[in-house]
Amino acid sequence: MISSDSHLIGLVGTGIGPSLTPALHEHEAAALGLRYLYRLLDLDALGLPPAAVGEVLAAARLTGFTGLNVTHPVKQLVIEHLDDLSPDAAALGAVNTVVFRDGKAIGHNTDVSGFARSVGAGLADAPLDHVVLIGAGGAGVAVAHALLTLGAGEIRVVDTDRSRAGTLAAHLRRRFGADRARRADDLATALRDADGLVHATPTGMREHPGSAVPPELLRPEVWVADVVYRPLDTELLTTARARGCRVLDGGRMAVFQAADAFRLFTGLEPDADRMLRHFDSLAREDAHVPN
């Protein structure tokens, strides 16, 4: 249990200027009576490559940060610079939350619980027999574990880096069973009889516009989820909705993973419903911000 009522938190990644995470954390901290500063540590703005994440981690530890959130593209690169990992982070090989405690940097992953809770809230009765996952990076790893933990029958992993897709599929088979995951090299074939599709790459963000899925592949029977939350209505989700698909935006995952990270940083229980309401207000304001 962390007893301090004052916390300095940071977010490390690239292109993170538009992130709503700082506002989410600081608003909830204020409601709980905490002094809480959340700072962006954008590697692009700092002129540093992703490989320099260890230097940023060391500086944050030295200057008294309580912890860090970690996002694309350093969720896996950060691991070698940590002292220990939670069981979930170790199983995934990806970290999105680092807590500095008792002189150690401990890595956690709240993306798994965040996505699982998001599916429970927005796709509770959706079929999960065959799910296509686009993206085998840090977010994709978390999504795959969440889906298989929720009872998905088979995950078909698609990535522009086929080796990375194969590595993730092999890892999932070792942990969940030989028939639970495979690499899929052709998206059209993978989607032909799929129940659902989860997109877990930066494509669709304002800084990376576009869609990873040709519209003609989106059958109305396929549900579509996106981990991108800025904008909430990505090109993929807009197209999927227009074609009759049930959709799940990235907003709930963003809130639930933030709530779980907040708990790790402070030792206090955040009010997830309050955070959801705040996120909705931020998203409405954000929708009117010009690209």
Residues known to be catalytic: 75
Peptide bond into 73 cis (omega under 30): yes
